[in-house]
Homo-oligomer: A and B are copies of this chain.
Amino acid sequence: MIQFQNLNKNQPYTILKDKYNEALNAGQSVIEAISISSYNKQLNEVDSRFVNLKFIINDEFIFFSNYNSPKSKAFDSHSQICALIYWPAINMQIRMKANIKRTSEEFNQEYFRNRSKEKNALAISSKQSEKIVSYEEITKNYEITQKKVDLSTCPNYWGGFSFTPYYFEFWEGHELRVNKRLVYKKINKKWEKSIIQP
């Protein structure tokens, strides 16, 4: 589930919310899954991964991650990203382009305090994406962390990322590929709407 708070009243956001409700009613599984694509300038490499979208607060999309992870390094080197949602239950793809930044420490601490201790133990114990010898090593490290560490203080290497799209595309699939594509582009703080070819 995605938490909507004080949602922005402009059309791309209201359409997003309507489609979210439709997908939810159609029984869409893992509705909060969103792919985040990034470009690491130093590595000259595009990368992409699914994350759980936690909040849409006004016009900001927020998810959480390790700040030392490869994606975080990519965002540091090139802040522009693409975010992609696909809800097969309603045959809808939503594509967004945005610039990404970290959320404030206050926001991270408050969120962390209210999360489950089990999830926090993993956030604290994992050196995300670093190599390890075995999966057992991870579960052992995780169990030790659960017993020994303060699980309600957010470590400085963990927290939220926030992005506010400057581009939305709502893509609705059609059996014969005559897909409907509705685009919103933010130009001089206003949303410009257009229809593009399938």
Contacts and interface: CB of A to CB of B under 8 A. Distances in A.
B37 A131 contact: no
A2 interface: no
A138 B178 contact: yes
A190 B39 CA distance: 26
A42 to B, nearest CB: 13
A84 B38 CA distance: 13
Copies in the complex: 2
A93 B49 contact: yes
B80 A46 contact: yes
Nearest to A81: B46
Most chain B beta-carbon contacts within 10 A, residue among A93, A129, A198: A198
B37 A82 contact: yes
A152 B6 CA distance: 52
A177 B132 contact: no
Most chain B beta-carbon contacts within 10 A, residue among A37, A126, A131: A37
Contacts of A47: 37, 82, 95, 97
A88 B30 contact: yes
Contacts of A129: 181, 196-197
A5 B49 CA distance: 27
A88 B35 CA distance: 13
Interface of A: 29-30, 33, 35, 37-39, 44-50, 78, 80-84, 86, 88-89, 93, 95, 97, 118-119, 122-123, 126-135, 138-139, 142, 176-178, 180-181, 194-198
25 contacts: A30-B88, A33-B88, A37-B37, A37-B47, A37-B48, A38-B46, A39-B39, A44-B78, A45-B97, A46-B46, A46-B78, A46-B80, A46-B97, A48-B84, A48-B95, A49-B84, A50-B84, A50-B86, A119-B176, A126-B197, A130-B196, A132-B195, A133-B195, A138-B178, A142-B178
